[in-house]
Amino acid sequence: MTDDELTRDALLGGRISYLQPRRGYRVGHEAPILARFSLLDGARPPRSVLDLGAGAGAVGLCIAHALPAARVTLVESEPLAARLASANARDNGWSERVDVVAEDVCRVPDALARGACGLVVANPPWFEPARGHSPVDPRRHAARMIGAGVARAFVAAARHGLGRGGRFCLAVPAQSLCMWLDELSAVGLVAKRLRLVHPRQAEPANVALIDARAGRSGGLIVEPPLLVRAGDSYTDEARRALWGE
């Protein structure tokens, strides 16, 4: 891919330099929103973070910015996205503490030590193959479509990587929430926090943020909804997440 097929953009209000393809799958609002959701105020910061299906690294890089002492591992199987993730880690000066594993999520357990991470995050593919229109660009298609077993691969890899007391935070389409809760339960992970993201107040939620941990069922906290926009402007809370304020 040539330089004119890439764009140099910014995350968190310019705090992170972000190289990504000009066409195809590009970072959306859910990446910085998920990163902010995964960081608990007052909690001990995780020392090791795993980002599954990281793409060019948006979620993991936002967390690396917020946690300067943490080591972050970005797992991405698509070759171009993995190369861009490495470039983004280097360009932001984080090569020594942000690693990129160019591997399929299904094979992550073979590459990582069991129970090594205090936090695992994922912004998995968003649409089942039978739903909606397939994107024209093949990389966008691969990034946005859920194939057979993909959801189970994500939760199994997260379960493998989580250490004692670790958390798995993910952003999924709201319409697929029940499926993801079932998949989490199948590997012994239980949702403890849930927050729905609405584009605007009068519109249905399109994103569900889940914080899951190993343990018994029960104790779920459903947090107030997050509204991205009020009219044509971002809400104050959305702005804080998107701009890293």
Q: What is the DSSP string of 206-222?
A: -EEEEEEEES-S---EE
Q: Which residues contact 79 (CB under 8 A, 6 or more apart)?
A: 102
What pLDDT is stored for residue 134 in this prediction? 46
- In eight-state DSSP terms, residue 127 is B
Domain 3-243 has CATH 3.30.70.330: no
pLDDT above 60 for 56: yes
Q: Which one, of 47, 93, 92, lies nearest residue 73 by Cα?
A: 47
| Lowest pLDDT segment from 13-27, 104-118, 229-243 | 104-118
Q: Where are the domains of the chain?
A: 3-243
pLDDT above 60 for 142: no
Q: Which one, of 210, 197, 221, lies nearest residue 167 by Cα?
A: 210
What pLDDT is stored for residue 54 in this prediction? 95
Q: Chain-wide mean pLDDT for the chain? A: 88
Q: Which one, of 80, 7, 61, 52, lies nearest residue 157 by Cα?
A: 52
| Lowest pLDDT segment from 14-23, 126-135, 152-161, 229-238 | 126-135
The predicted model gives 141-160 an average pLDDT of 72
Q: Note the pLDDT tens digit of each residue in 66-110.
A: 999 999 999 999 999 999 999 999 999 999 999 999 998 888 777
pLDDT above 50 for 140: no
